[in-house]
Structure 1
């Protein structure tokens, strides 16, 4: 993986340095503070009107390796967001790599507007996003040409933090993007364990089928048709980070790790099954976050994650609509559509985390999932943050604000009484409906209904704002945000890993 290294601007023009390109990202590259570079750009601008208007690779005697890439970032002060820096950085690093650079420097002009405060970090991580290659490609011998990126006039601790964040994002991308046999439930677990071996994260695996069937009944219903195939059998992976000092906050995270989603008996048709190996993006992002946390070792916060790894297969033993299954929390669930399987997995995970929260210090619970096409239709590349009543006033706006600062755009989506009314089973044979019979994108308030179900089926409805034991909970639906480009084969981006890290920092 490319390493981020702090570099003083004094080193830019040192004859002894071994950097071989300089990337400038600015609304006005011609105003760069380095006199020799500024003069070279001004001279070229006299004969090349692209300078200061778009990304240009120039031969420049003053730049390391004689390569100068000047990139223009277009700023919309009213509605723009910092993700434009990532987009420009991706284009620039691609050009640098194509030119043969192996050790480029990156300089990003400071932006005084508050929504662009994290421009440098977003640009740096944008470079890394562009350079990542799929695990299968690396195993086939393909390599990234760039070995490290120098960050000009950036403190050492920021470079170290960005390197650890990117290490987590690489793990998350590998887990999410790798094909479903290469990353079957047991292989997902093994890959995590090997990646986390040198970090301060405790790993435990629940793979005993009798225990899983008893303690995770909804999750096992999703995987019922896969139980006969040993490599497809479900797993629950628990990852825990415990700080060395006093615990002041506890984050409890549930991740949807559906290794492959056929839709089950409610079969995905019309090509809708293609790309469904990416339905483990929520679990993958949390696993990556745990790696970053284990490397950086933050103080004051305990983090516990449960990842539900299961394959929603089709077969003679598949669960079907109309079945009534009792969740771990004791809620009787009528299955409405077996393609709404992720919420079932999350409900059982959160029920266990809810119990852990009972004696935890300042607990906050989250679920992360590529859950509904409705969220993707409603918010596009933004992910939905759906808080319960306890999290609505403070946690939700704080977390979503942090997401937008980090270029992982989020939109707060509130629950209403209507959502809980719609999922109530009025026959009295069951307590709640898992979903409507139609796909979520065809249902009004589709992603809110999913979140309401998760709250109800996990037992978190007993811990609302008016209860004696309120628990803040927020569901994150990353369905439209988790993949860049082609939703089937584009690059995963590990959203919301970066947001979680900075939110955690804000807590402590």
Structure 2
């Protein structure tokens, strides 16, 4: 794992040592008369005067000007634009900080100071915006601009030696103009450092191509990342006979990859235990889809649709990143049990075939209709295992609330429905406990908004077996984008095939188990691909889960 730039937080620019930074990035709502009259502007307002006199658009977009009075002589102005209009939210702060820091890096800066002085709207002014975590979001944006992918770091070290420069930034000084609570700023730095470390684990794995990040290599990467983190234990299952017995749907989905050991599937289990057991408020059971390459199997992807399928592991990447972040911050309020299902959905003589009926771990007969709908298959048996563990813990007297979450780049339908936003699909107990709304609220605060979808009776009817030969249909034979409710009904399949249908709201308080399916197919990658290259990766939902489940 790469080390983060050193993070220093301040309440005014005067606290930043002149020789500690080599650029000043100023983030304001707008660079107008009000901004130029602020106390913090005294050191740089004069430098901008000649530009403002000749360019009425000066300061409306990111710009760099020479300014001898600031560190490094580099002054970068990056406006957020309005923050109080109907559709504004904290992402405008993120975008402005990232653009500004990226411009400073382009100019040669390695130690920027970022002065935050936007005019935030009063709480509740914009119904669909939450600026309560705006400082965390700003710092995450600065760190996001500094990240260098694992494959680039390895290339630089391979070509320039072990001492090659692999990071863009050495340090970041974040100045929150007028901040009164220094202790809270230190708390921000602690949270953000942990979130960013988790996000970088997710990005390191996610950017890796299908040969660099085979299932086994993903496991090695995770193991190395969590090895020295207090409270986290690591286990991996590689034995094919064990996988066949414990995770039959994963095993059969991966059959065509058995021809070479380097592409074999595996299961990674991570356990995090709070350092203060008395403060534990809930137990999270997390399941991540880790399909390191998805050819579609025998239901082969065509028409160029295989492009980018090395990204079908981003659910597992995000879950692993969140567990790492939780361990680093030593969050006292949760315990976590995590299962990552890692496979390559290959094609070959031993491929799983449509028309097969496979018995799930829960003893449910699954009729395979489309081997390209492998994500729900690989996650279902881990969900069944989580269900078993929750019921066993309750039988032993545990009263700690528990929830199961699946995280996956599961469907193209969620992108058709919501664009570049993730979606939650929750069962009755989870909706009753508002787990889906918690994720939506946290995502809004951390700049990773989620939509809450509702599971309806049609979703369960769609997958319910209609003959005596099967209990549940895995999918239909059409792409999710051409299927009504194409991102909702897979949650119903997981519930039925994992045995969770016996733990619905109607089962009563002692038996009901909250379950939330989180589809990040839209939010895990950014909007634009550079040329013919693959698009960037966001690290979703690491920060959202931190906001939803951490108490620190």
Q: Report the TM-score, using the length of structure 2 for normalisation.
A: 0.88
Look up the match of 1:52.
59
Q: Residues 122, 41 of structure 1: CA spacing in aligned structure 2 closer, same or farther, 3 A cutoff?
A: farther
Q: Which residue of structure 2 lines up, in the alignment, with residue 277 of structure 1?
A: 310
Once residues 157 and 195 of structure 1 are traced to their aligned partners in structure 2, the CA distance between those partners, rounded to angstroms, is 23
Q: Deviations over 1:406-427 (max 9, x none)?
A: 1111000000011100111212
1:123 Cα deviation after fit = 2.4
* Correspondent of 2:80 among 50, 58, 73: 73
CA drift at 1:13: 6.8
Of 229-238 and 159-168, deviating more is 159-168
Query: Is 1:385 matched with 2:424?
Result: yes
Equivalent residue number for residue 520 of structure 2: 478
- Other-structure match for 2:456: 416
Which residue in 2 is equivalent to 1:160?
A: 190
Look up the SS of the partner of 1:484 in the other structure.
coil
1:463 CA displacement = 0.8
- CA change 1:321–1:419 in 2 (3 A) is same
Note the C-alpha offset of 1:439. 0.8
1:76-116: per-residue Cα shift (whole Å, max 9, x none)?
52122221222222221111001111100112225134422
Choose which of 49, 53, 56 in structure 2 pairs with 1:43.
49
| Higher mean C-alpha displacement, 449-458 vs 260-269 | 449-458
Q: CA deviation at 1:402?
A: 1.1
When structure 1 is superposed on structure 2, of 48-57 and 296-305 the one drifting more is 48-57
Asked if 1 retains the 8 angstrom alpha-carbon contact of 2:409 and 2:520, the reply is: yes
Unaligned runs of at least 5 residues, structure 2: 124-129, 157-164, 177-181
Q: Which residue of 1 aligns with 2:414?
A: 375
**Structure-2 change in CA distance of 1:489 and 1:23 (3 Å):** same
CA distance, structure 1, for counterparts of residue 95 and residue 295 of structure 2: 33
Contact 1:50–1:56 under 8 Å retained in 2: no
TM-score between both structures, scaled by the size of structure 1: 0.96
1:82 aligns with: 90
Q: Which residue of 1 aligns with 2:386?
A: 353
Partner of 2:360: 327
Residue 502 of structure 1 aligns with which residue?
A: 547
Report if the CA contact (8 A) 1:342-1:369 is conserved: yes
5 Å-filtered alignment, 1:196-207, equals 196-200=226-230, 201-207=232-238
Q: Determine the structure 1 residue equivalent to 2:291.
A: 258
- Which has the larger displacement, 392-401 or 115-124? 115-124
Deviations 1:186-244 (A, max 9, x none): 11111111111121210011111111001100011110111121011111100011012
Contact 1:12–1:64 (Cα < 8 Å) also in 2: no
> Within 5 A, what are the aligned runs for 1:64-463?
64-75=71-82, 76-110=84-118, 111-114=120-123, 115-141=130-156, 143-153=166-176, 155-200=185-230, 201-246=232-277, 247-358=280-391, 359=393, 361-393=400-432, 394-463=434-503
After TM superposition, which residue ranges in structure 1, 4 or more long, deviate above 4 angstroms? Answer: 13-16
Distance in 2, Cα, partners of 1:187 & 1:386: 31
Distance in 2 of aligned mates of 1:168 and 1:20? 28
The 1:35/1:439 distance shift into structure 2, 3 A limit, reads closer
How far the C-alpha of 1:271 sits from its partner, in A, is 0.9
Contact 2:9 2:189 in 1 (8 A): no
Structure 2 Cα separation of the partners of residues 319 and 27 of structure 1: 55
Q: Which runs of 5+ in 1 are unaligned?
A: none
How far residue 356 of structure 1 moved from its aligned partner, in angstroms, is 1.6
